Structure 1
Amino acid sequence: MKTLLYTITLALLFASCSSDKPKDKKGELEQLKKQRTELNGKIEKLEAELGQNKTKTDLKDVVVSELAETQFRNYVEVQGKVDAEDNVEVMPESPGTVTAIYVKVGQNVSKGQVLAQLDDKVLRQSVAQLQTQLDLASTVFNRQKNLWDQKIGTEVQYLTAKSQKEGLEKQLAGLKSQAAMNKVKSPVSGTIDAMELKLGQSVAPGSPTGIRVVNASRLKVKALVSENYGGKVNQGDEVTVSLPDVPANLNAHISFAAKVIDPVSRGFNVEVKLPSDKRYRPNMVAVLKIIDYRNDRALVVPVNAVQKSETSEYVFTAVNGKAKKVEVKTGKISDGKAEVLSGLKAGDKVITTGFQELNDGDNVKL
C-alpha cells in the first residue's frame, strides 16, 4: 500500500510539473516577442536618426579651383653674377718707375686719358737731341730743294738731303711713340674703382698696376648652364633676372650663349645685358630663370593636389556636392604648378585643399 501511494504521488507530481512548465515557457515567449517588437521600433528610429546625422557629419569642407586656360612656363634656373662690360685692370706698355699719378679713386675718366706717368727722362733727352738734328736736316733740305728748283746742283745732293731729313723724322716719330708708352692710359671710359699705384713703384708690361677702371653703366649677368640644356637654351631666349641683394626682378633676353661646352665644368656660358641702374654692382649674385618651355593655353593645377597610385596619377574634383576621382596625365612642373595634359577640361572644379582623406563619392562642402 505504501508503495502504491508513493508511486501515485510521484505520478501526480510529474504531471503537475509537466503541465506548469509549458505554461511558463509560452508566456515567456510571448513576453519576449512583445519586447522584441518594441526594441525593433526603437532600433529603426535610432538608425534613422543616426543616418541623418551621419549624412550631415560626413560633409567634408574643401577648397576648389576652377580650371581655365592660362600661360604656363617652365624654367631652367641657374645662379650667376653681375659683371661689367668694361671692367679692366690697367697695365703699362713699357717698364719704368712711377713719377706722377693724375687720378684718384672714384674719379671719372675717359678712354685714352693719362692716369700715371713713368720715368722717361732719357727718352726726352733723346727726343730733344734728335729734334735738333732734324731741324738742321730740314734747313739743309729746304736750301738744297731751292737750288734744285733753279737747276743748280746735282740731283744726288737733293736726294741725299731729302733722305736724311725723312730718316730723322721717322726716328723722331719712333722715339715719341716710345715715350708715349711711358704714359699709363685708361683703355676704357669709366670710373676709377681701385688705385693702389704708388709713386716710385716699378712696373712692367703684363704685371698689374693696381688701377681698375669700371664702366658701371654697361653691366651684364654671366652664368654657367649645364650641358644638359645645350639644346634648349639659346641666344634670344626670354629670361627673368633676380637680384636678391637689391632686390629687383626684371625680364630680359639672353644676349649671348656660347656654342662650346667647357671640358672642365661641362657647361656653357650665357650672358644677359642689364639696364643702367646705380643699385647694380659688379659681382652681385644674380639668379637667371630661363624659359625653355611654354604653353599659352595650358590647364594647370597645384602640384600637391596631384596624387599618385601604383599605376596612375589622379586628382579629386567636386561634382554636384560629391568628390570624384579623376585620373590625369601631367607634363612639366614649375613654380609649384603641374601642367595637365589629359583628364581635365576648362571649367572643372579641382579640389586643392581638403583632399587628403577623401574617397570617391564622399559628400563635400565647398
Structure 2
Amino acid sequence: MKTRYIIYIVLALLVAFLVYNKFFSKHAKETKTATAGKGKKKNGPVAVNVMIVHDTTVVNQIDITGTVDANEKVNLVSQTAGAVTGIYFKEGQRVSKGQLLVKVYNQDLQASLAQVQAQLALAKDINRRNEILVQKEAISKEEYETSKSSYAAYQAQVANIRAQISRTEVRAPFSGVIGLRSISPGGYLSPNTPIATLVNIDPAKVTFSVPERYLPLIKVGSKVNFTIESSQDVFGATVYAIEPALDAVSRTITVRAKAPNAKNLLTAGAFAKINLTLDQIPKTIMVPTEAVIPDLKSSKVYVYHDGKALAKDVKTDLRTDTKIQIVDGLKSGDSVVVSGLIQIRPKAPLKVLKVIK
C-alpha cells in the first residue's frame, strides 16, 4: 500500500517538473518573448511588378483546323463496256483537258460509221441535184423533199454513231495529275470499273468550320493562313464561299478558301492548322491574363496608386494565349499589378520591384 503511494507521489512530481519546464523555465520565457515579438511585428509592403498599360492595336484571330481538298477531283470511268485497246497515260503524269486517256474496242462502230458516211455522201449528191432540178421544175417538189429528208436522216445516223464512238474514248475532263491506274490493256472495261483518279490541286481548296459567334466577321475575301504537317511553310488562302446554313449539331458554319499551289506542296486530304484573321481592333488595352482576378459578378485588377493597391472592376472581352482585352475599367497610363496578387488586399502597401512598359 505504501509502495503505491510512493509511486503516485513520484509521478506527481514528474508532471510538476514537466509543466514548470514547459511554461515557467528561463528557456520557455525566452521563447514566449520571441514569439510575442514576431506577432507584434508590423507587416511590410508587398513586393510587386507593375505594368503601365497603354492603347494598342490588336488583331483578332482564332486557330482552328481544316482539310486541304483538291480544286477538282474525279474517278475516271468508261461510259461503255468493252475490251481496253489502248492506254495513253502514265501514272502520276500531268494531263491536259480533252487529252485521250483510254480507248475501248470500237472497230464495229468505225465500220458502221464508214458505211453510213458513204450513204450520206450519195444522199448529199442526190439532194444537191434535186435542188437544181426542182428550181427548173424538172422534178416535183415532193421528190426534192424526199431526197432532202433522206440526206438529213443519214446526217443523224452519222452523228449518232460518232456519239457512240466518243463514249468508247475516255478523255480528261480537266487538266491535272492522274493517279494510279487499275486497268490493263486487253482487260474488259465496264461502266463500273474504276480507271484512275484525276486531281487538279492548283489552286487547292481549304475547308474548315467556324463557330456561330464569328459568323458576322467572316466574309468572302477574308484572309487565312495555315500550315500542314509535311511542310514548314506558311500558306495563304482567301475565302471564296460560305455555306448558307449552320450545322444543327455543332452550331458551326462551313467555310471554303482557295490557296495557290504552284509548287505542288499541298496534297489533297492533308490536315491544315488554320489561323483566321477576323478583324483588327485599332485602339484597346491588353493586360497579362494573370493580372485579372475573376469574381462572381465581374473581374478585377489591382492598380498601384499612391503606394497602395487599388482594386478596380473591369470588363473583359478578347483573349489570347497570354493576354486579355480590357474594354472598361482601365485607362491608358494606369499601373496594373502583375505579380504578388495572392498576397495583396485592397489598400495594402506595395513596393514596386519592376516597371513593365
> If the TM-score is normalised by the length of the shorter chain, which range does it land in?
0.7 to 0.9
Out of 76, 98, 101, the position equivalent to 2:87 is 101
Deviation at 1:292, TM superposition (A): 4.9
Please state if 1:344 is matched with 2:330. Answer: yes
The match for 1:127 is 113
Q: After TM superposition, list the pairs within 5 Å mapping 1:343-362 onto structure 2.
A: 343-359=329-345, 360-362=348-350
The match for 2:196 is 211
Please state if 1:222 is matched with 2:210. Answer: no
Cα deviation code 1:157-202 (max 9, x no counterpart): 2222222122101111111111111110111111213333322333
CA contact under 8 A between 1:237 and 1:291: conserved in structure 2? no
The match for 1:364 is 352
CA contact under 8 A between 2:236 and 2:259: conserved in structure 1? no
Amino acid at match of 2:121: D
CA contact under 8 A between 1:218 and 1:274: conserved in structure 2? yes
Deviation at 1:287, TM superposition (A): 2.7
CA contact under 8 A between 1:240 and 1:249: conserved in structure 2? no
Alpha-carbon spacing, 1:262–1:313, altered in 2? closer, same or farther (3 Å):
closer
Please state if 1:297 is matched with 2:283. Answer: yes
Alpha-carbon spacing, 1:349–1:97, altered in 2? closer, same or farther (3 Å):
farther
Please state if 1:260 is matched with 2:248. Answer: no
Partner of 2:91, secondary structure, is coil
Deviation at 1:80, TM superposition (A): 0.9
Partner of 2:177, secondary structure, is strand
Distance 1:208 1:233 in 2: 46
Gapped regions of structure 1 (runs ≥ 5): 1-42
TM-score, length-scaled by structure 2: 0.76
Please state if 1:241 is matched with 2:229. Answer: no
Partner of 1:104, secondary structure, is coil
CA contact under 8 A between 2:68 and 2:269: conserved in structure 1? yes
Deviation at 1:136, TM superposition (A): 2.4
Out of 274, 284, 301, the position equivalent to 1:288 is 274
CA contact under 8 A between 2:46 and 2:344: conserved in structure 1? no
Deviation at 1:261, TM superposition (A): 3.2
Higher mean alpha-carbon deviation, 214-223 vs 313-322, is at: 313-322
Amino acid at match of 1:176: R
Deviation at 1:81, TM superposition (A): 0.6
Deviation at 1:208, TM superposition (A): 5.5
CA contact under 8 A between 2:46 and 2:343: conserved in structure 1? no
Cα deviation code 1:338-361 (max 9, x no counterpart): 111222111222233444434432
Partner of 1:187, secondary structure, is coil
The match for 2:312 is 326
CA contact under 8 A between 2:67 and 2:272: conserved in structure 1? yes
CA contact under 8 A between 2:218 and 2:278: conserved in structure 1? no
CA contact under 8 A between 1:257 and 1:270: conserved in structure 2? yes
Partner of 1:195, secondary structure, is coil
Amino acid at match of 1:235: K
Partner of 1:255, secondary structure, is strand
RMSD: 3.1
CA contact under 8 A between 2:215 and 2:253: conserved in structure 1? no
Alpha-carbon spacing, 1:243–1:358, altered in 2? closer, same or farther (3 Å):
same
CA contact under 8 A between 1:109 and 1:191: conserved in structure 2? yes
Gapped regions of structure 2 (runs ≥ 5): 1-33
- Percent sequence identity is 27
Distance 1:333 1:317 in 2: 20
Distance 1:335 1:291 in 2: 15
Amino acid at match of 2:352: V
Please state if 1:271 is matched with 2:245. Answer: no
Alpha-carbon spacing, 1:312–1:149, altered in 2? closer, same or farther (3 Å):
closer
Distance 2:310 2:250 in 1: 50
CA contact under 8 A between 1:237 and 1:290: conserved in structure 2? no
Between structure 1 and structure 2, the one with the greater Rg is 1
Higher mean alpha-carbon deviation, 337-346 vs 284-293, is at: 284-293
Cα deviation code 1:117-159 (max 9, x no counterpart): 1111221121112122222222333333343344323322222
Amino acid at match of 2:299: E
Deviation at 1:293, TM superposition (A): 6.0
The match for 1:29 is none
The match for 2:216 is 232
Alpha-carbon spacing, 1:277–1:134, altered in 2? closer, same or farther (3 Å):
closer
Out of 78, 103, 109, the position equivalent to 2:64 is 78
Cα deviation code 1:21-61 (max 9, x no counterpart): xxxxxxxxxxxxxxxxxxxxxx9xx99xx98xx86xx562x
Deviation at 1:299, TM superposition (A): 0.6
Distance 2:136 2:68 in 1: 72
